[in-house]
Structure 1
Amino acid sequence: MFTKSLQVTSLYTRVPLTVAILLFSIPSQALLPTPLDTANLNVVTSTPIDTISTNSTQALADNTQNVQNAGAEQLLANWRVQAKSKNLAQHTTWRRLLYFIDDKKGLFNKGKTKSLVEDSDFFLSTSGYQDSAAELDATLAALANEIMQPASAQANNSNSVQCRFPARVQWLSEHLAIDQSDLQTNCPELDEWMSMLNPEQLSIMFGEEYLDNPISAFAHTLLRIDSPASVADPSQIHYAYAFNDTVDGNPDDPFVVYAIKSMIGSYDNIIEIDPYPEKLAKYLKEDERDTWTYQLDLTPSEVRQMMLHVWETKDLYIPYYFATDNCASEILRLIDVVRPEQYLLGQLPYVVIPSDVINLLADEQLLAGTVYTPSDATVRQAQLNKAEEASELGYATLTEEEAYNIKSADINLASSISKDMQRLEPPLITPSDNNPLDRHPLQRGHVGIGQSGDNSYIELGLRAGYHSTLDRPAGFRQFFDLEGVSATWRLYNTDDDNDNNQPLSVELQNFTLVRGRSFNPVNSAEKGDTWGASIEATRVNDGSQEEGGAHLVGSTAFEYGKSWAFGEPKANSGEMPPQLCYTFATGAAQAGRGINNGFRVGAGVNAGCLYQINNQLRAQAELQLPYWYHGSSSEDDIKSHYWQPITTLGLQYDIDKKQALRINASYEWQDRVDANEDIKLSYMRYF
């Protein structure tokens, strides 16, 4: 620091000396008295005085510029020596500032040789997107030139490296001991933005899963940016802002197109900085999703550095991948910039799920506090629970109209956010059992033994995610049911090779791409519908043929109906009663080579109940009444249409958060099916 200051000071002290030399270089006859001679007078007056002045000024300016250039070169040379000795070009933080994600496990990342950013405006060097050393040198050169400029030239230069890349400059100033007083460039736009945010503390907000909006089916995370005022009183949310990284999709695209483009990176991401009350209201009021907010254990200087980096990156066009580069991964990336030793992104699997991010931050001891904020639906449900309890105890009456008025979102405007959108109301209820820190891991494997008809088998299964109604419910939205990318195989003990209906020794029993149900009981404060959908390949019994065997088919189905919650809800909470019954009208289409005519379509009714016996044990029973049609057939022994009722029963006992035992049983009420009954016992392992 001291050596560099001497170098800069000595360079500026040369300027007066240069001026003196220039003055003395003017011909002596122009300065000393001479005899008044007409001829000489004519010679002297042939060069105008203003020309002499202009030439002298230009020479002074040229020499001053040369001094500045020499100073910049000397400063740059000094920095280059330090940068090389510290290997700053390959430093983890420097590369992360340039979007080189060296430690990320992703299916779609470009690897270690290129930045994820292709925008040339993000780099000072033409090769900066693939060469962190070239970008470092270009940044140092630009910064040295800016420092050596006079203060007047540095004013309001929004295109300067200090204004465009303040996080890079801040990091370099720390590692190269650059005096902050030398960074004199004014950045009015940056200063105004930082003054607006006034960042002192960051928290990560988790909005629970919401199946009624499939884009939010896996939950969402954003950052709450707190100013000193909202740190002093967290309920004063109008002093806070929200940082939200989301998909910049085309709202006019059909949902299927929108979903596919979001998955494969055909849309860019977009960074939104909004007043926190506006963003929070979308979750609590519009979607009616509970939120959990966790303070991040970061210093104010780390918070400021993260926000400076957001300034550098907020307008970039970067592909958005729903499963790998999303709202949750971006938060980890920002933390990794200021905590390079923790490698948060590298600790997650290929798919980045918001709840996994919350649990990872907890494991890394980066969470310093927790706040639960109930949604409007939860607040209304708490009121309904109290009214029903008072009615049951005889303290008050509750008419059907009064119950409806409490449940209705249009009539009952109770909310966790004040009417003026300025503050959070103090929660007066027990938090719901949906804290993502309490949930089981989302991946699951199982091994089971079973009997199908006369054939015994061993079953192996693997599920990438997410949660079914029989899984341990703690940490999830009540009655949440969504599974994706799962497969099961069966290994049969085959004895009779001549039996055509005997299964193969190894069979794919099921592959589910996605299967889910959204339960919004009509007697609760939830305002959505009850529906379900599935896309899968599954093994079915063909009831159209005599002794119909099992065949693997592609299947898609949709369900729509009603559900009811019953039982005793948790005291002083906004949870619904723990038991659930439902009924669906269903439609399905299946296709496969083995079944009659290669296809069948069906319609019918599914009805069932889910019963929470205790905290560790739950059961689910269901009756399916599908009516199938295969198309016309000329053969007498083949039915073109028929009923095929199926009853199923599931029972799960939780050993702990990561282990469980499950019993599944089913019976097909169809006399033309070879193997009517199926029963198995499985050990479930969550990881």
Structure 2
Amino acid sequence: MPKRLLPWLALCACMSLQAAPELAQSRIQALAAQPYWLAIGHYTPAKLGGWRSYVDDPKFFLADDGEHSPEHELAATLKALYASPSLGDKHAQCVYPARTRWLKQQLQLTDLPTVECKEFATWYHDINPHSAVLVFPAAYLNSPSSMFGHTLLRIDQADVDSNNTALLSYALNFGAFIEGMDNSILYAWKGLMGGYPGLFALVPYREKLSEYSRLENRDLWEYRLNLTPEETGRMVEHVWELKQVRFKYFFFDENCSFRLLELLEIARPGAELTDHFPLYAIPTDTVRAVKDAGMIDKIDYRPSREKELLARAEPLDSAEKHLAVRLADDDKLLDSAEFKALPPDRQALVQDAAFRLLRYRATGKERDEADAARSYQLLRAINVNPPPALQVERPGQPEEGHQSLTWQLGAGSRDGQAFGDYGLRMAYHDLEDNSYGFPQGAQLELGDLRVRQYEGNRWQLQNLDLVSIRSMTPRSTMLKPLSWQVTGGWERVLGKNSDNHDDTLVGHINGGAGGSWKLTDGLQAYALGTARIETNPDFAATIAPALGFDSGLLWRNDLGNLSLEGSGDFFHNGEVRRNLSFGQQFELTRDLGLRLSAEREFSHQAGPVNEVMLQLRWYHY
């Protein structure tokens, strides 16, 4: 007997109550097969037949085998709805309001006992759901859990537009529950393998807004959904059923975005949003799926504090920018002859930029009295001489960028030997891809596999990059971010047999840090110092370290994106490896590109090798 039914059945034995209706097995099976019942149970077909629920918490189910049997769970729920009202807030009608409402509608249950659900009623009244907004905090490379971005739902009340009360709304978020302080490597591993439980949480939206746009300096995109008040309420009812219920959390598939798609399918049965993501659910892809389903009415953009600072500093000349930086460090410069010599309109811009810079620096830090005093003085000056309203250029919408999986088909010549090149990248963007909708100077690739077929039908694995991350945000007078990169996997390098067209496959981890600078609009340069660890069968040592450099140019032009790069690795055993490369992507459509690349490699172990390739890239998922 299901353990969770025992309290209700014990009370039923002592009190005269209306019994649950006896349904034919065929009727129970038909109801349990309905998409809505499967959705609120989070059921999905099991690999070996039958069903399994994504919910990993036994307290969510009333039947002992409810995790695998939608029929038994439905029958157990129906029986529990007729338990004694004296159970109060622990009654099934109070614990499962979404199930209750649906079964009442389907079976015309007019004889259910009347139960006062005080806790649920108070909670629901406080949220007062009327409409919903899908919120996308943009990708943030410096946080392992946020490299692909994130999604959450904002639950609005009826007066959100008339009274501008969005900050009083609630944010519905699904995320990994982390106890303790796991390091980044352990965090990534446990996230990939489902080592963290995932929980839904409702928190004030202003807290999430502060966390993403202020603490992490991430742009926010708000997609107003066209859900009706009834659909929004139905979704919130189910959120109550998931209170403190645990799921397994996986970064790539059963993540924040996938769980929210499940909720939207409950709000609007038949939407079938999760069907589009059999392998993984990247937030931008899920936003695109919601948009393609016709569920978005309006899109709003909230720039980060960093974007606002850069936009305010944009009209300043070099001297004014330097003055703003000094002013942020010393508010006494407000009375200096240098500052007062500026026209009033320029003073307004400079002091506002200084104030924004000071507040940006304070992000995530404890309150500092000296900083607070300078902020106050700058704010007083701004009130006396206010600047014009800030206009932040709206970037490309993330969901309008190219799709995340890339098929690659290329042909080329390496030192006079022709080859075909076939590749698949699981996710999701490099510096030469179409940059519309993606963060500036950002590269994030996972599972990049390339196989080559040389003349004579000779096949070889060319490379398998498990991860490749590059962050090339340009430095400026106001902000000086660090550019960095890290790559790990297997690749072909010049070796002892390269003269016979047989390069060596090595395992490697390499990374570097340095700076990137904007030269003109669309053109930037970068220079990084690098370190590398390699396992190479041509070397005597099992593990060979190297130091080196990586520098180049990135140019956004009318045809697409161009890169010119030079790099070198200097190994402890005397091996020196250098590389010059060129790449130009021609953007045919959003999801189709043609890339021309050329490369010249140098090594002490082999003579110089030249390679040229033309590659067709199809972005698809």
- How many Å separate the matches in 1 of 2:477 and 2:563? 20
In the aligned structure 2, how far is the partner of 1:462 from the partner of 1:608? 26
1:113-148 deviations in whole A, cap 9, x for unaligned? 2323343322222232222222222222222344xx
1:490/1:546 Cα in 2 relative to 1: closer, same or farther (>3 Å)?
closer
Following superposition of structure 1 onto structure 2, how do residues 349-498 of structure 1 map, counting pairs within 5 Å?
349-388=278-317, 398-402=320-324, 405=328, 406=353, 411-412=358-359, 428-494=390-456
Instruction: Give the structure 1 partner of residue 531 of structure 2.
Output: 587
Secondary structure in structure 1 of the residue aligned to 2:427:
strand
Q: 2:335 maps to what in 1?
A: none
Residue identity matched to 1:607: S
**Counterpart secondary structure, 1:355:** helix
The one of 189, 194, 198 aligned to 1:260: 189
- For 2:103, the aligned partner's letter is L
Q: Per-residue displacement from partner, 1:509-551 (whole Å, max 9, x unpaired)?
A: 1100000111232216556421110001000013799989520
Return 202-211 or 136-145, whichever deviates more. 136-145
The verdict on how the C-alpha distance between 1:678 and 1:72 changes in structure 2, with shifts beyond 3 A counting, is: same
Match of 1:347 in 2: 276
8 Å Cα contact 1:524/1:565 also seen in 2: no
Shift of 1:88: 1.1
List aligned pairs for 1:89-108, cutoff 5 A.
89-102=32-45
Contact 2:82/2:112 (<8 A) preserved: no
- Equivalent positions of 1:472-551 (< 5 A) are 472-494=434-456, 505-523=458-476, 528-542=481-495, 550-551=503-504
Where is the strand percentage greater, Structure 1 or Structure 2? Answer: 2
**Unpaired runs of 5+ in structure 1?**
1-64, 147-152, 392-396, 420-425, 495-503, 569-577, 631-640
Who is 1:227 aligned against?
A: 157
In the alignment, does 2:559 pair up with 1:606? no
Flag the 1:451–1:176 CA change in 2: closer, same or farther, 3 A: same
SS across alignment from 1:678? strand
Contact 1:384 1:407 in 2 (8 A): no
Quickly say closer, same or farther: Cα 1:101–1:667, change in 2 above 3 A.
same
Distance in 1 of aligned mates of 2:254 and 2:459: 37
Letter in 2 for 1:335: L
How many correspondences in the alignment?
A: 561
The SS at the match of 1:475 is: coil
Q: Over aligned residues, Cα RMSD in angstroms? A: 2.9
Between the aligned partners of 2:181 and 2:48, the Cα distance in structure 1 is 30
Residues 250, 566 of structure 1: CA spacing in aligned structure 2 closer, same or farther, 3 A cutoff?
farther
Would you say the 8 A contact 1:110–1:116 is kept in 2?
no
Equivalent of 2:518 in 556, 565, 589: 565
TM-score (norm: length of structure 1): 0.76
Q: Are residues 358 and 315 of structure 1, via their aligned partners in 2, closer, same or farther at CA, if it must alter by over 3 Å?
A: same
**Match of 2:139, as an amino acid?**
E
Report SS of the residue matched to 2:278.
coil
Contact kept, 8 Å, 1:544 with 1:642, in 2: the verdict is: no
The alpha carbon displacement at 1:579 in A equals 2.1
* Deviates further, 521-530 or 372-381: 521-530
Task: State the distance in 2 between where 1:221 and 1:526 align.
Answer: 27
- What do the CA deviations read for 1:14-58 (whole angstroms, capped 9, x no partner)? xxxxxxxxxxxxxxxxxxxxxxxxxxxxxxxxxxxxxxxxxxxxx
Once residues 600 and 355 of structure 2 are traced to their aligned partners in structure 1, the CA distance between those partners, rounded to angstroms, is 41
**Aligned pairs (5 A) from 1:201-212:** 201-212=131-142
1:403 CA drift (Å): 5.0
User: Which aligned runs of 4 or more in structure 1 are off by greater than 6 angstroms?
Assistant: 65-68, 543-548
| Cα distance in structure 2, aligned partners of 1:128 and 1:399 | 64
For 1:629, the equivalent position in structure 2 comes to 572
Structure 1 residue 656 displacement after superposition? 0.8
Do residues 158 (structure 1) and 81 (structure 2) align? Answer: no
> CA contact under 8 A between 1:243 and 1:271: conserved in structure 2?
yes
* Percent identity of equivalent pairs: 26
CA-CA distance at 1:597 after TM superposition: 4.7
Distance 1:445 1:680 in 2: 16
Distance 2:295 2:112 in 1: 35
* Contact 2:481–2:515 under 8 Å retained in 1: no
- Partner of 2:509, secondary structure, is strand
**1:608, distance to aligned residue in structure 2 (A):** 0.8
What's the offset of the Cα at 1:429?
2.7
Deviation of 1:600 (Å): 2.9
Give the Cα–Cα distance (whole angstroms) in 2 for the partners of residues 294 and 547 of structure 1. 57
SS at match of 1:87: helix
CA distance in 2, matches of 1:599, 1:85: 63
Q: Unpaired runs of 5+ in structure 2?
A: 1-11, 329-352, 363-374, 376-387
Which residue of 306, 313, 316 maps to 2:235?
A: 306
Give the residue type in structure 2 aligned to 1:532.
Answer: Q
- Partner secondary structure for residue 609 of structure 1: strand
Q: For residues 553 and 256 of structure 1, do their structure 2 counterparts lie closer, same or farther at Cα, with a shift above 3 Å needed?
A: same
Q: Distance in 1 between matches of 2:13 and 2:505?
A: 80
Q: 1:465 to 1:344 in 2, by over 3 A?
A: same
List aligned pairs for 1:11-410, cutoff 5 A. Answer: 69=16, 72-73=18-19, 76-77=21-22, 80=23, 84=27, 87-102=30-45, 112-146=50-84, 153-154=85-86, 157-179=88-110, 184-233=114-163, 235-388=164-317, 398-402=320-324, 405=328, 406=353
Distance (whole Å) between structure 2 residues aligned to residue 195 and residue 340 of structure 1: 24
- Whole-Å Cα distance in 2 between the matches of residues 431 and 510 of structure 1? 39
Against the structure 1 CA distance between its residues 85 and 123, is the aligned structure 2 distance closer, same or farther, given a 3 Å change threshold?
A: closer
CA distance in 1, matches of 2:18, 2:458: 77
Deviation at 1:67, TM superposition (A): 12
Deviations 1:161-206, CA, capped at 9 Å, x for gaps: 1111111001111112234x95631112111211221111111101
Is the CA contact 1:510–1:538 (under 8 Å) kept in the aligned structure 2?
yes
- TM-score computed with the length of structure 2 as normaliser: 0.84
State the AA in 1 paired with 2:89. Answer: S
Distance 1:674 1:455, change over 3 A: farther
